[in-house]
């Protein structure tokens, strides 16, 4: 201390009053700086800072509308979208019981509800102390605006002079509901989403529900302002179908016209690509009405099906002769010129089989059997030319009695009597007469889509395709193409080439109403009598079908027509074949398929120029 | 109290140069501490602002996505077959028939190929990757360097 004091004395400068002022000001500034620093330290590492850090792990859930995935046709036209709707709740804690009757009246008038029912419901909920009641899940934008307008208009002052707006207790939550810009177009393919439900039923909506699923999602929101939870992964996919809206519209119009003209119970038309199994149009008339849920339920109840094209098995009749002939040709049991002497009756195990006109057609080749659609001939082929095991092995390979795997909800497998079929006591039900009947398309139940797959195999060289409606899905900005696995080679290419030639030759003989000027077509009619309980087969009630493709030499489109119980004529050649011809015309126009002569001329040109 | 007086006296007797040095040191210390906490608070503040902005943008993206879907539906209604047919009818157009279509030969034009067809054969079994793509470094050392095969 002594040394220090000595040092101080070296150049001691007296502290003046001015210096003191500087020291005081410096001290104050220093103190202020220290306070600021201390405050910053507290903010950074004190209890407030810790609280903010802790909030990093804390979050709350908030409802957020998640629109259901969109469905497009193959050209990107929207078939099923979403529209803006609101979920409407009422906070009963904010409502006086005396206001409820008028409130029910106001709401019911806008939402088209029953005033009495609504009033009762609200009064009961209020008396039970229920805090909130959901009034509707599909309030439209205009209804919301109307209710908000009414809320502003209905104002009164309570006993304390406070302004009361009873309808301000209404709470609108934004959500979405299905929108069908094309109306009921392809409704049987699309499926439906019931009100108040998030799950889809029938068609694409059911099959791809997991991809399309939307609804109201409880989304995580962090209390920490710098934490953002990702939401990208939960976005639903958009589906692009193989359906073409123009072809679909044409098929629906033709189906509706056919029902009207023939007074049929219903009609089904399918247009498909035989090489890929892509369904380009799948029309039913009547079709499910998507706009009105009550009518839709009535439709499903009436037909016991949503999509008649995949859910209604029926006896196809003579169109099935193409399958029998294909099997016989494939195993080498018959050739196109194999002869059958038709006496007009063929007897198997005591059962008598007649031709459609009960006539005898004499000696006929296999082409003639198809051209005149002889039941006796095809029963003979099925029963005598094809071994039992082989016949059923082929039916199994074609997928009859099994699902085709089409990507639509609710497909039915159909079925047939086989040698292994037993009744509940284990007794065999099958007899050789069943095999003979199945040869010409009776005693077997198939769905139109199964027949489309089988006919496609004949058209494409023997490969059994999986019918499908999804072209690709789009998710997170990426597209995933859908190529379903095929179901194998069921016929040899040479068999199908022979059969294609036979069907092309036999069609003009069988029915001229299926022909289209300028275009070569191939196919077969089918008229199947309908079995009635305790009566047997009816001669008046039939299933009239036509299965065919065009161009005949280079199949690009398989078209299947089924009319159930036509009244004007029971014959497929009269009622179903013209529908096929109309569909060929409309498909050629929409798909820009040139007539055969033009096509062949240009094919020749491209061969000459080497551009093929 | 004595200590304060002594310190006060000592400070009064300090030479100015030394006083300034002490004051500067103290101020530098306060500034350093202040700067550290300033940066800490500043970065936290930036993180909060940007986080809020990100949250706002996220909400905006969701709203926009919803709005796009709704507008897409409205546009689809305006371009639906039903609507377009009405417009076409109003404009005096009639549906085309096959008879209306005429084909004219255009030199050097080749008929468009059909859409690609999938192969009708059984799916091709993928061939296994060559060993050079699957071999580990240890295996490579062992096979190629340490114990190379006599013949290749």
pLDDT at residue A26 is higher than 70: yes
The predicted model gives B131-142 an average pLDDT of 80
Inter-residue contact A589 to B101 (CB < 8 Å): yes
Per the structure, the count of domains in chain A is 2
The last residue of one of the domains, among A192, A212, A236, is A236
Query: Do A402 and A485 fall within a single domain?
Result: yes
**In whole angstroms, how far apart are CA A231 and each of B51, B90, B97?**
15, 46, 50
The predicted model gives A561-574 an average pLDDT of 93
d(CA B12, CA B20): 12
Residue A253 lies in a domain: yes
Residue A468 lies in a domain: yes
Interface probe with B: pick from A72, A78, A190, A251, most Cβ of B within 10 Å:
A78
**In whole angstroms, how far apart are CA A57 and each of A51, A54, A60, A133, A502?**
11, 6, 10, 33, 75
The predicted model gives A457-463 an average pLDDT of 93
pLDDT at residue A18 is higher than 70: no
Query: Do A465 and A415 fall within a single domain?
Result: yes
Q: Which of A142, A121, A115 is nearest to A133 (CA)?
A: A121
The predicted model gives A571-585 an average pLDDT of 95
Spatial neighbors of A339 by CB under 8 A, at least 6 apart, are A363, A364, A365
pLDDT at residue B63 is higher than 50: yes
The predicted model gives A144-156 an average pLDDT of 88
* pLDDT confidence of residue A232: 55
Q: Do strands A59-66 and A522-532 pair parallel, antiparallel, or not at all (unpaired)? A: unpaired
For A416-449, the DSSP string reads E--TT-B-TTS-B---HHHHHHHHTT-SEEB-HH
Highest mean pLDDT among A7-16, A591-600, B107-116 belongs to A591-600
Query: Do A218 and A87 fall within a single domain?
Result: yes
The answer to whether the CB atoms of B105 and A52 lie below 8 A apart is no
pLDDT at residue A61 is higher than 80: yes
* pLDDT confidence of residue A13: 53
The answer to whether the CB atoms of B76 and A181 lie below 8 A apart is yes
* pLDDT confidence of residue B80: 94
**What 3-state class would DSSP assign to A82?**
strand
**What 3-state class would DSSP assign to A523?**
strand
- Cβ contacts (< 8 Å) between B62 and chain A: which residues? 64, 231
Spatial neighbors of B121 by CB under 8 A, at least 6 apart, are none
The closest CB to that of A483, out of B14, B65, B118, belongs to: B118
The closest CB to that of A64, out of B47, B62, B70, belongs to: B62
The closest CB to that of B10, out of A8, A52, A483, belongs to: A8
d(CA A559, CA A282): 10
Provide the token pair at B83. 């609507």
The answer to whether the CB atoms of A10 and B34 lie below 8 A apart is no
Residue listed under structure tokens 């589906």: A239
Band of residue B121 on the pLDDT scale cut at 50, 70, 90: very low
DSSP state of A383: I
Query: Do A249 and A230 fall within a single domain?
Result: no
Spatial neighbors of A132 by CB under 8 A, at least 6 apart, are A89, A90, A91, A92, A171
Domain residue limits at A314: 245-601
**What 3-state class would DSSP assign to A415?**
strand
Residue A187 lies in a domain: yes
The closest CB to that of B81, out of A70, A249, A611, belongs to: A249
Inter-residue contact A195 to A87 (CB < 8 Å): no
Please count the other Cβ atoms lying within 10 Å of the Cβ belonging to residue B39.
12
- Cβ contacts (< 8 Å) between A463 and chain B: which residues? 120
The predicted model gives A233-256 an average pLDDT of 92
The answer to whether the CB atoms of A486 and B118 lie below 8 A apart is yes
- Cβ contacts (< 8 Å) between B110 and chain A: which residues? 602, 605-606, 609, 611-612
Please count the other Cβ atoms lying within 10 Å of the Cβ belonging to residue A600.
15
Please count the other Cβ atoms lying within 10 Å of the Cβ belonging to residue B67.
11
pLDDT at residue A286 is higher than 90: yes
Query: Do A202 and A290 fall within a single domain?
Result: no
Q: What are A482-502's pLDDT values in tens digits?
A: 988 888 899 999 999 999 999
Inter-residue contact A277 to A558 (CB < 8 Å): no
- Cβ contacts (< 8 Å) between A486 and chain B: which residues? 118, 120
User: In sequence order, which ranges of A56-129 are alpha helices (DSSP H)?
Assistant: 100-111, 115-127
Provide the token pair at A63. 């409802």
pLDDT at residue A5 is higher than 60: no
Residue A31 lies in a domain: no
Inter-residue contact A350 to A433 (CB < 8 Å): yes
The answer to whether the CB atoms of A40 and B27 lie below 8 A apart is no
The predicted model gives A14-43 an average pLDDT of 77
Spatial neighbors of A598 by CB under 8 A, at least 6 apart, are B103
Query: Do A217 and A351 fall within a single domain?
Result: no
Please count the other Cβ atoms lying within 10 Å of the Cβ belonging to residue A253.
15
* pLDDT confidence of residue B152: 41
* pLDDT confidence of residue A360: 86
- Cβ contacts (< 8 Å) between A598 and chain B: which residues? 103
Tell which wins on pLDDT, A234 or A489: A489
The answer to whether the CB atoms of B76 and A606 lie below 8 A apart is no
Query: Do A260 and A213 fall within a single domain?
Result: no
ipTM: 0.75
Give the chain A residue whose CA is nearest to the CA of B78: A181
The answer to whether the CB atoms of A77 and B76 lie below 8 A apart is yes
User: Average per-residue pLDDT in chain A?
Assistant: 87
Percent of residues, chain B, with pLDDT higher than 70: 82
Query: Do A170 and A269 fall within a single domain?
Result: no
Please count the other Cβ atoms lying within 10 Å of the Cβ belonging to residue A443.
18
d(CA A158, CA A168): 15
* pLDDT confidence of residue A511: 87
The predicted model gives A11-24 an average pLDDT of 65
Across the strands, what pairs with A362? A342
Percent of residues, chain A, with pLDDT higher than 90: 53
Of A145-149, A413-417, B104-108, which range is least confident? B104-108
The answer to whether the CB atoms of A81 and B66 lie below 8 A apart is no
The last residue of one of the domains, among A217, A236, A255, is A236
The predicted model gives A112-135 an average pLDDT of 90
* pLDDT confidence of residue A3: 52
- Cβ contacts (< 8 Å) between A174 and chain B: which residues? 66
Give the chain B residue whose CA is nearest to the CA of A184: B82
The predicted model gives A159-169 an average pLDDT of 83
- Cβ contacts (< 8 Å) between B113 and chain A: which residues? 612
For A226-240, the DSSP string reads T-----GGGPPPEEE
Give the chain A residue whose CA is nearest to the CA of B17: A11
Interface probe with B: pick from A3, A81, A221, A483, most Cβ of B within 10 Å:
A81
Spatial neighbors of A328 by CB under 8 A, at least 6 apart, are A334, A366, A381, A382, A385, A386
Residue A54 lies in a domain: no
* pLDDT confidence of residue B113: 55
Sheet containing strand A557-564, strands side by side: A279-285, A266-272, A557-564, A536-550, A522-532
Q: How close, in Å, is residue A190 to chain B by CA atoms?
A: 16
Helix (H) or strand (E) holding A493: helix A493-510
Q: Which of A190, A246, A291, A585 is nearest to B84 (CA)?
A: A246
Q: Do strands A71-72 and A238-241 pair parallel, antiparallel, or not at all (unpaired)? A: parallel
Q: What are B17-53's pLDDT values in tens digits?
A: 887 888 788 888 888 888 888 888 888 888 888 988 9
- In the A/B pair of chains, how many CB contacts fall below 8 A? 154
Spatial neighbors of B86 by CB under 8 A, at least 6 apart, are none
Band of residue A10 on the pLDDT scale cut at 50, 70, 90: very low
DSSP state of A612: -
Spatial neighbors of A513 by CB under 8 A, at least 6 apart, are A573, A574, A577, A578, A581
The answer to whether the CB atoms of B120 and A276 lie below 8 A apart is no
Band of residue A561 on the pLDDT scale cut at 50, 70, 90: very high
pLDDT at residue A97 is higher than 90: no
The answer to whether the CB atoms of A40 and B37 lie below 8 A apart is yes
Q: How close, in Å, is residue A458 to chain B by CA atoms?
A: 13
Inter-residue contact A464 to A398 (CB < 8 Å): yes
The last residue of one of the domains, among A211, A236, A261, is A236
Instruction: Say how far residue A556 (Cα) sits from the centre of its chain.
Output: 23
d(CA A81, CA A214): 12
pLDDT at residue A548 is higher than 90: yes
CATH number of the CATH domain containing A186: 3.90.1310.10
**What 3-state class would DSSP assign to A269?**
strand
Q: Where are the domains of chain B?
A: 1-97
Interface probe with A: pick from B39, B81, B83, most Cβ of A within 10 Å:
B81
Residue A459 lies in a domain: yes
pLDDT at residue A244 is higher than 80: yes
Q: How close, in Å, is residue A256 to chain B by CA atoms?
A: 16
Q: How close, in Å, is residue B30 to chain A by CA atoms?
A: 7
The answer to whether the CB atoms of B38 and A599 lie below 8 A apart is no
Q: CA neighbours within 13 Å on the CB side: how many for A166?
A: 18
The answer to whether the CB atoms of A605 and B109 lie below 8 A apart is yes
């Amino acid at each position: 201390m002594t040394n220090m004091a000595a040092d101080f004395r070296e150049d001691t400068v007296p502290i003046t009053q001015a210096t003191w002022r500087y020291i005081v000001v410096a001290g104050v500034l220093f103190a202020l700086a220290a306070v600021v620093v201390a405050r910053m330290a507290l903010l950074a590492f004190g209890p407030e800072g810790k609280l903010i850090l802790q909030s990093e792990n804390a979050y709350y859930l908030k409802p957020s509308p998640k629109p259901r995935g969109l469905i497009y046709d193959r050209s990107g036209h929207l078939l099923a979208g979403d529209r803006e709707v609101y979920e409407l709740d009422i906070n009963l804690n904010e409502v006086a019981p005396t206001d409820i009757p008028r409130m029910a009246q106001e709401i019911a008038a806008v939402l088209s509800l029953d005033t009495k029912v609504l009033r009762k419901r609200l009064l009961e909920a209020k008396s039970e102390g229920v805090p909130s009641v959901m009034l509707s899940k599909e309030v439209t934008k205009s209804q919301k605006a109307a209710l908000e307008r009414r809320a502003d208009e209905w104002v009164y002052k309570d006993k304390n002079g406070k302004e009361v707006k009873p309808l301000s207790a209404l709470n609108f939550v934004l959500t979405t509901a299905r929108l069908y810009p094309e109306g009921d177009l392809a409704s049987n393919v699309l499926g439906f989403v019931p009100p108040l439900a998030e799950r889809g039923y029938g068609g694409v909506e059911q099959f791809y529900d997991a991809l399309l699923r939307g609804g109201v999602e409880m989304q995580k929101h962090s209390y920490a302002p710098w934490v953002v939870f990702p939401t990208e992964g939960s976005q639903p996919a958009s589906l692009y179908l193989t359906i073409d809206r123009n072809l679909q519209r044409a098929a629906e119009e033709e189906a509706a016209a056919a029902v009207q003209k023939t007074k049929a119970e219903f009609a089904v038309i399918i247009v498909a690509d035989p090489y890929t199994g892509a369904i380009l149009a799948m029309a039913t008339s009547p079709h499910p009405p998507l706009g009105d849920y009550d009518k839709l339920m009535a439709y499903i109840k009436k037909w016991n099906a949503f999509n008649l094209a995949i859910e209604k098995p029926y006896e196809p009749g003579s169109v099935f002769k193409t399958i029998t002939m294909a099997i016989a040709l494939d195993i080498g049991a018959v050739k196109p010129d194999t002869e059958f002497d038709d006496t007009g009756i063929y007897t198997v195990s005591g059962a008598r089989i007649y031709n459609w006109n009960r006539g005898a057609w004499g000696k006929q080749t296999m082409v003639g059997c198809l051209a005149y659609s002889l039941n006796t001939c095809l029963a003979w082929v099925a029963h005598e030319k094809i071994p039992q095991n082989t016949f059923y092995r082929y039916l199994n390979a074609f997928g009859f009695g099994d699902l085709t795997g089409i990507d639509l909800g609710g497909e039915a497998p159909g079925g047939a009597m086989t040698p292994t079929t037993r009744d509940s006591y284990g007794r065999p039900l099958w007899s050789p007469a069943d095999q003979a009947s199945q040869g010409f398309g009776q005693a077997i139940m198939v769905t139109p889509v199964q027949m489309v797959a089988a006919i496609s195999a004949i058209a494409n060289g023997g490969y059994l395709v999986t019918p499908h409606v999804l072209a690709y899905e789009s998710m997170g900005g990426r597209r995933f193409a859908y190529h379903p696995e095929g179901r194998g080679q069921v016929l040899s290419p040479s068999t199908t080439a022979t059969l294609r030639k036979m069907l092309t030759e036999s069609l003009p003989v069988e029915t001229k109403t299926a022909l289209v000027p300028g275009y070569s077509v191939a196919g077969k009619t089918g008229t199947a009598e309908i079995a009635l309980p305790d009566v047997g087969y009816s001669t008046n009630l039939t299933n009239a079908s036509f299965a065919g493709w065009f161009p005949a030499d280079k199949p690009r489109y398989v078209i299947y027509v089924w009319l159930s119980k036509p009244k004007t004529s029971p014959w497929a050649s009269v009622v179903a074949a013209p529908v096929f011809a109309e569909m060929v015309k409309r498909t050629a126009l929409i798909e820009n398929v040139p007539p055969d002569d033009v096509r062949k001329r240009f094919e020749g040109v491209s061969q000459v120029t080497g551009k093929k | 109290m004595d200590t304060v007086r002594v310190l006060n006296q000592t400070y009064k007797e300090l030479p100015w140069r030394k006083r300034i040095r002490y004051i500067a040191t103290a101020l530098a210390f306060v500034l350093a501490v202040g700067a550290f906490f300033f940066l800490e608070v500043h970065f936290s503040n930036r993180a909060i602002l940007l986080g809020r902005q990100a949250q706002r943008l996220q909400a905006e993206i969701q709203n926009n996505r919803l709005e796009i879907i709704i507008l897409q539906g409205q546009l689809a209604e305006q371009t639906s077959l039903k609507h377009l047919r009405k417009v076409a009818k109003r404009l005096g157009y009639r549906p085309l028939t096959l008879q209306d279509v005429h084909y004219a030969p255009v030199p050097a034009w080749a008929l468009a190929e059909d859409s690609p067809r999938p192969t009708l054969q059984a799916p091709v079994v993928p061939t296994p990757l060559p060993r050079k793509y699957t071999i580990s470094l240890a295996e490579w050392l062992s096979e190629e360097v340490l114990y190379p095969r006599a013949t290749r």
